[in-house]
Chain A
């Protein structure tokens, strides 16, 4: 997957505008350090824009994983004060990790250059438009609303506008023929004609 697509998804997730697929894409990519750093940068950029600079740049996930990795597997037989002490130690190490993260964050100065770079980044990938005929009907504002604009056929006008209604109709009709619950696909097909 391209870097751009992922960053686009990241910013969509941050703006609470991501669909299911994008969310999944981001979650899958989150094991990657680079992705987490991009995420953190986006958060800072947003915090600055919202004049809300208290969003800490924590890599809690990594710190907690590290702390858990260090935890020795508790031996079942050992019962007593040592076990709870061990747990306490793990909890303490997690706390330290979190606190260290906060300290690190506070020391970290937000470079203006970095922010400037990032603010350009969320620019959505402009579709590769080849024909001038298509360009005429293309509006950038619609792209900003995300890939799905509330059930409205959206995107490149022309080709899809021409095809999708007939695809939807054909699907609904064939479904009506195949299905046992014949009235339901028929109603779906009919509802497409009412637009």
Chain B
């Protein structure tokens, strides 16, 4: 008789474990849908080593169009307005040489793919910005990516809090809503860009972008990372041609920048800014010395290995 409760306990354990994993994946799917279907506005904080800032966000989904405005509330009034994932305008300091990539749409979160590289599980409940939340942990299956802890709104599936953790469990960055309103739809005035928000000028230097992906490849990539975009643009200050490639595993991302040194004497460097690492390494090619810089939210050892693995195919093409 004593075996029966034990057996049922074992059996329930057997069934509960996969159910938990499925539940976590359902939450991620909800998260993916939430931003495409849910209007909201709110205030969030962003914190990383050496930086703390507060921001407002207005997000409106109307007639299938997603319109979003982000505004930094402290320090300089940095602003971005996006429509369906395409940047419409950015404030002065955020301007960047956005090339080809500004044309391509965002990729949806794919839990099926993510579970190959992360262990996805619901690890508890929490309360963020006065709302109840479910905590979903994404624990990396290898040492080539960081772990995420997502606190998702029970009501809408929106991310209320997102923590990035390294392999030692140290916090690398925190994104957290302090207030969120999902009942009111932001008005046109809320979404109206400020006077300093400059309309994005599309980089005209597109022709060479397609060649970047062909002329460069990496001998080694961390498992699961795929090339998602490539671009080539001229740096307005240095006039140098910079090629860039971006890779992601569905969640984490890194970019590889390739710039000819033209005889400049430069050493290899490594830098860590909160979650973002930057590793620069010289590479000697038949076309001269190239500085390879890997920038991304990945562990420094991984970035270093990628930087060492970049190869040019230029000779093969010719």
- A sample of 14 inter-chain contacts (CB < 8 A) reads A19-B270, A20-B301, A148-B271, A148-B272, A160-B269, A164-B271, A167-B255, A171-B246, A171-B295, A173-B98, A174-B244, A181-B31, A182-B106, A194-B75
* Cβ–Cβ < 8 Å partners of A118 in chain B: none
The answer, yes or no, to whether A193 is at the interface (CB within 8 Å) is: yes
Count the B residues whose beta carbon is within 8 Å of the partner chain — how many? Answer: 75
The answer, yes or no, to whether B178 is at the interface (CB within 8 Å) is: no
Residue among A24, A154, A183 facing the most chain B CB atoms (10 A cut-off): A183
| With A174-B229, A177-B85: A190-B94 Cβ-Cβ less than 8 Å | yes
CB distance from B234 to the nearest CB of A (A): 12
Residue from B78, B244, B265 in contact with A190 in the complex, judged by beta carbons closer than 8 Å? B78
Query: Does the CB pair B270–A188 fall under 8 Å?
Result: no
Query: B-facing mask of A170-195, CB < 8 A → 1, else 0?
Result: 11111111111111101111111111
Provide the bound-state CA to CA distance between A160 and B275, in Å: 19
A-B contact count (CB 8 A): 189
Query: Does the CB pair B53–A170 fall under 8 Å?
Result: no
Q: Is the interface of A mostly helix, strand, loop or mixed?
A: helix
* Selected interface stretch from A51-59, A88-96, A125-133: A125-133
| With A160-B280, A193-B78: A187-B269 Cβ-Cβ less than 8 Å | no
Query: Does the CB pair B265–A174 fall under 8 Å?
Result: no
* Cβ–Cβ < 8 Å partners of A178 in chain B: 101, 104, 106-107, 228-229, 246, 248, 253
Provide the bound-state CA to CA distance between A134 and B269, in Å: 15
Interface residues of B in 151-205 (CB under 8 A from A): 159, 162, 173, 175
* Cβ–Cβ < 8 Å partners of B244 in chain A: 170, 174
Residue among A129, A180, A192 facing the most chain B CB atoms (10 A cut-off): A180
Taking residues whose C-beta sits less than 8 angstroms from the other chain, chain A's interface range is: 35 or more
* Cβ–Cβ < 8 Å partners of A180 in chain B: 31-32, 35, 106-109
Query: Does the CB pair A187–B301 fall under 8 Å?
Result: no
Q: Which residue of A lies closest to B34 (CB)?
A: A180
* Cβ–Cβ < 8 Å partners of B255 in chain A: 167, 170-171, 174-175
Query: Does the CB pair B265–A131 fall under 8 Å?
Result: yes
CB distance from A174 to the nearest CB of B (A): 5
Query: Does the CB pair B295–A167 fall under 8 Å?
Result: yes
Provide the bound-state CA to CA distance between A160 and B266, in Å: 8
* Cβ–Cβ < 8 Å partners of B266 in chain A: 134, 156, 158-160
The answer, yes or no, to whether B235 is at the interface (CB within 8 Å) is: yes
Q: A167-B257, A181-B31 given. 17 additional CB < 8 A pairs?
A: A130-B265, A134-B265, A159-B264, A159-B266, A162-B238, A164-B269, A166-B96, A171-B295, A174-B244, A174-B255, A176-B87, A178-B253, A180-B108, A184-B175, A188-B274, A188-B276, A191-B48
